Every structure is written in structure tokens, then in C-alpha cells.
């Protein structure tokens, strides 16, 4: 029982290098577990195990709370302006360095599916980079993002603001499959 | 998943070692981005920016599709009984080795909040481990698990099947703080 901290995630603290490294590794582990369980839930539902699917989703959510707690201790939850900057920075690294390097290796090694999944991600990160950039400018002028719908392709992650597209410009999936936020 | 979508997703393939390494790193990156954006969405909501919160959730969903695609190409998505085994193994590693080792170092370095975040996670992973073990036994007999509520503490991730406790036994959060699946 830890009543003094009731109902709050653990706050940031000054971390020794070893502990910081461990919390970062734990954040990576929890994030991957959460995402895996969501994928496993979809499989369970397809196989006719709706209750196993629900269990996977609940546990995925539990891992998300752990990821959030670790992120909080690391001091990586800032104001929205700071968070948009961090998000933009992550997308930029993926576009400028990470995915081009990975794509080059997958091409060299003639791994076709790997090239496809890398291309899908790279293209969508470009959408995200631009969206975060313009949203950050709005927030710096104290403006919320407007009320436009956001559509996401459930195959490749292509992200569109405004109108539902007829089909996905990256992977040609029919627009009716796009998920609206 | 809709069979129309299923056939569009990148397939698993025989991967060369370097390409596999690239995809494993990309999966870690996408998973962390997806989780971070969910946390950033909550922060935006707290700041009275609901549209930015919605945007973060949409982009988080896009990263989830990338994570799933990378995982598929690596052959990381199997039948439910296999997925439950993989999930069990991941939890067992965290409970038996990872979190105890990290906690030991956090204690040595006197990092109270890091220790708290690690302990919350280890406690919940202990529950997840046996839940997955029991679900796997059922799945191997071709049976779903029972239709009982699964509830998760929003603060620490404590996971309980069936009736809710009055208070979270791990972090003492009130019953109202559980999310039920």
C-alpha cells in the first residue's frame, strides 16, 4: 500500500545512468508487449475466441499504463507544445535516417515483404511529420487543432486530414476501410 | 479482420539477419511511438486541447498498424495458442529476471520513483503470466476462456478477473479507477 502517492503515476526524478537505461529498456519492452497483444487480440477474434481477445486487450491496456508510468519517471511527458516537438523529432529521425537505412538493407538482402512494411511506414511518417509541424505552429499561437476528421488506413497507416479518400494513395486499400478519428 | 484487408497486409518471409534486426528495431520504435502518443493525447486533454488529443490518438493508431505489419513480416503473429505461449514467455522473463534485476539497481541507486514504476509493472506481470497460462490450456482444447469481466487499474496496471477489489492491492487506488474490458 502506498497511500501518499494515491492515484498518480510516479513523477519524474533525477535518475542515475544505470537506472535511466533500465527504465528506457522497460519502456521499450512494455510498449512492444502492448502492441503485440493488440495484434494477438485481432487473431483471437478471427479464430472465434472473443473472450481471449478481450483478455489480450485488457492486458495490452495494463502494459500501456506501465509504459506511461516509466515515461513519467523519465520526465518525457511535457506540455502539449513540448510533446508535439518530441513527436515531430521522432518522425523526422525515422524519415531522414532510420527507414531509408533499413530500406537499403532490405533491398540489398532482397527481402520483399520487409521492403513493403518499411515503405508503408516511411510514407505515413511523412504525413505525420507535416501534421505535427503545422499543429505545433497552431499551439504556439494558443490554438487547438481544428475539428477536421482524421482518417487512417488500417493497412499502411497513411493518414489524411479532411475528407475520406476514395482509396489509399500508398497501398490502394478502398477508402471505406479507413478508420475515422 | 476483414479478409479484404487481411490479404493486403505484408506477409511473413524468410528474413536475412540484418533485415530482421532492422525490422525488430523498427517494431520497437513504432510500439513506443504508439504508446507515447496515447499519453500525449491525455496530456492534451488535460490542457483543454481535445482536437489535438484526437489527432494524437489517430496517429497512434497509424503506428499500431506499422507495428503489426513489422511483426507479421518477422513471423511474430501465430495462432492464438502460439500467441498465448509467446505472451506467457514474455511475462515470465519480465517477472523472473528483468524487473527483479532493474529493481535491484534502482534500490542501489536510491531511486524511489523508478523503483515504484518497476514494482507496479512486476506485480501486474505476475497476474498476466498465470492468466495467459490458463488461457493457453483452454485454447489448446479449442475452448475460449470464460465470459468474465477483466479489469485493469488505471494507475498501476493491476489486472483482475471477476469481481473488483475495494482498493487496488498494489497501489491502493480506489475501485473507481479500474477500467473494465
- Which residues in chain A touch residue B148, judged by CB atoms under 8 angstroms apart? 51
**pLDDT above 80 (res A4):** no
- Are the Cβ atoms of A23 and B54 closer than 8 angstroms? no
Residues 6+ apart with CB under 8 A from A170: A119, A120, A123, A124, A153, A156, A158
Pick among A1, A40, A97 to test the B interface (most B CBs inside 10 A):
A40
Write the pLDDT tens digit of every residue in A151-178: 999 999 999 999 999 999 999 999 999 9
B8 touches chain A (CB under 8 A): yes
Using CB atoms, pick whichever of A28, A114, A158 lies closest to residue B15: A114
B90 touches chain A (CB under 8 A): yes
Furthest-apart CA pair in chain A: how many Å?
A: 56
B25 touches chain A (CB under 8 A): yes
Cα–Cα distance measured from residue A115 to residue A172, given in angstroms and rounded to the nearest whole number: 17
Nearest CA in chain A to B116: A10
List, as one string, the DSSP characters of B73-106. HTT----HHHHHHHHHHHHHHIIIIIHHHHHHHH
B178 touches chain A (CB under 8 A): no
- Which residues in chain B touch residue A168, judged by CB atoms under 8 angstroms apart? none
Nearest CA in chain A to B74: A114
B 144-173 residues with CB < 8 A to A: 144-148, 150-159, 171-173
C-alpha cell belonging to residue B30: 513504432
The average pLDDT across A116-145 equals 96
Cα–Cα distance measured from residue A90 to residue A124, given in angstroms and rounded to the nearest whole number: 13
Residue with cell 497501489: B171
Q: Which CA distances in Å does B158 have to B41, B132, B153, B154?
A: 22, 15, 5, 8
Write the ipTM: 0.93
Using CB atoms, pick whichever of A30, A34, A179 lies closest to residue B61: A179
- Are the Cβ atoms of A46 and B1 closer than 8 angstroms? yes
Return per-residue pLDDT of chain B as tens, 181 residues.
888 898 899 999 999 999 999 999 999 999 999 999 999 999 999 999 999 999 999 999 999 999 999 999 999 999 999 999 999 999 999 999 999 999 999 999 999 999 999 999 999 999 999 999 999 999 999 999 999 999 999 999 999 999 999 999 999 999 999 999 9
Amino acid at each position: 500500500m502506498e497511500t501518499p502517492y494515491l492515484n498518480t503515476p510516479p513523477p519524474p526524478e533525477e535518475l542515475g545512468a544505470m537506472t535511466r537505461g533500465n527504465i528506457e529498456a522497460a519502456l521499450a519492452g512494455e510498449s512492444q508487449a502492448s502492441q503485440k497483444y493488440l495484434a494477438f487480440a485481432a487473431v483471437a477474434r478471427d479464430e472465434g475466441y472473443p473472450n481471449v481477445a478481450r483478455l489480450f486487450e485488457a492486458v495490452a491496456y495494463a502494459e500501456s499504463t506501465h509504459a506511461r508510468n516509466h515515461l513519467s519517471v523519465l520526465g518525457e511527458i511535457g506540455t502539449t507544445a513540448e510533446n508535439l516537438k518530441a513527436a515531430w523529432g521522432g518522425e523526422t529521425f525515422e524519415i531522414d535516417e532510420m527507414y531509408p537505412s533499413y530500406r537499403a538493407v532490405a533491398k540489398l538482402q532482397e527481402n520483399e515483404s520487409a521492403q513493403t512494411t518499411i515503405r508503408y511506414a516511411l510514407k505515413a511518417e511523412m504525413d505525420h511529420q507535416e501534421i505535427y509541424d503545422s499543429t505545433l505552429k497552431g499551439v504556439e499561437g494558443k490554438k487547438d487543432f481544428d475539428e477536421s476528421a482524421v482518417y487512417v488506413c488500417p493497412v499502411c497507416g497513411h493518414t489524411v486530414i479532411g475528407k475520406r479518400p476514395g482509396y489509399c494513395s500508398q497501398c490502394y486499400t478502398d477508402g471505406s476501410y479507413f478508420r475515422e478519428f | 479482420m476483414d479478409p479484404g484487408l487481411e490479404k493486403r497486409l505484408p506477409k511473413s518471409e524468410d528474413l536475412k539477419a540484418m533485415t530482421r534486426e532492422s525490422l525488430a528495431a523498427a517494431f520497437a520504435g513504432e510500439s513506443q511511438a504508439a504508446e507515447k502518443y496515447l499519453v500525449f493525447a491525455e496530456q492534451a486533454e488535460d490542457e483543454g486541447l481535445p482536437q489535438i488529443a484526437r489527432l494524437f490518438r489517430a496517429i497512434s493508431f497509424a503506428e499500431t498498424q506499422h507495428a503489426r505489419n513489422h511483426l507479421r513480416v518477422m513471423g511474430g503473429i501465430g495462432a492464438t495458442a502460439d500467441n498465448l505461449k509467446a505472451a506467457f514467455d514474455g511475462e515470465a522473463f519480465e517477472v523472473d529476471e528483468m524487473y527483479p534485476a532493474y529493481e535491484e539497481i534502482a534500490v542501489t541507486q536510491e531511486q524511489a520513483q523508478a523503483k515504484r514504476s518497476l514494482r507496479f509493472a512486476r506485480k501486474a506481470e505476475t497476474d498476466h503470466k498465470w492468466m495467459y497460462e490458463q488461457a493457453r490450456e483452454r485454447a489448446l482444447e479449442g475452448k475460449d476462456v470464460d465470459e468474465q469481466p477483466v479489469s485493469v487499474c488505471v494507475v498501476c496496471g493491476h489486472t483482475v478477473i471477476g469481481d473488483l477489489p475495494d482498493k487496488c492491492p498494489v497501489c491502493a487506488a480506489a475501485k473507481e479507477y479500474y477500467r473494465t474490458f
